[in-house]
A = this chain, B = another copy of it.
Amino acid sequence: MPKVVDHHERRTLIADALLRVAARDGLEAVSLRHVATEAGVTSGMVQHYFRTKDEMMQFALGVVRERNEARITAAVTRLGPAPAPRDFLHAVLAGLLPLDDASRADGLVALAFLAYAAVRPEAGTSLRRDAPQMVAYIADQIRTAQAAGAARAGVDPEAAATGLLAVTEGLGMYLLTAQTTPENAIRTLDAHLAFVFSGS
A residues engaging B (CB < 8 A)?
Answer: 24-28, 108, 111-112, 114-120, 124, 127-129, 131, 155-156, 159-160, 162-163, 165-171, 173-174, 176-177, 179-180, 184, 187-188, 190-192, 195-196
Please classify the interface of chain A as helix (H, G, I), strand (E, B), loop, or mixed, using the class held by over half of its residues.
helix
What is the distance, in angstroms, from A173's C-beta to the closest C-beta of chain B?
A: 6
A119 contacts which of B24, B162, B171, B192 (Cβ < 8 Å)? Answer: B24
Distance between Cα atoms of A27 and B114 in the complex (Å): 12
Report whether A166 and B159 are in contact in the complex, using a CB–CB cutoff of 8 Å: no
Min CB distance A104 to B, Å, is 10
Complex Cα gap A171–B176 (Å): 17
Does A160 lie within 8 Å of B191, measured CB to CB? yes
Count chain B CB atoms within 10 A of each CB in A156, A162, A171, A177 and give the residue with the most: A162
Q: Smallest distance from the beta carbon of A128 to chain B beta carbons, Å?
A: 6
Known: A159-B191, A163-B167, A167-B170. A177 touches B114 (CB 8 A): yes
State the Cβ distance, A17 to closest chain B Cβ, in Å: 16
A179 to B: closest C-beta gap in Å: 5
Cβ contacts under 8 Å, A129 to chain B: 179
Are A120 and B170 neighbours in the complex by a CB distance under 8 Å?
A: no
Partner of A27, one of B24, B115, B160, B179: B115
| In the A-B complex, the 3 residue pairs with the closest CB atoms | A166-B170, A169-B170, A170-B170
Using Cβ atoms and an 8 Å threshold, which residues of chain B touch A169? 166, 169-170, 173-174
Give chain B nearest CB distance to A102 CB in angstroms: 16
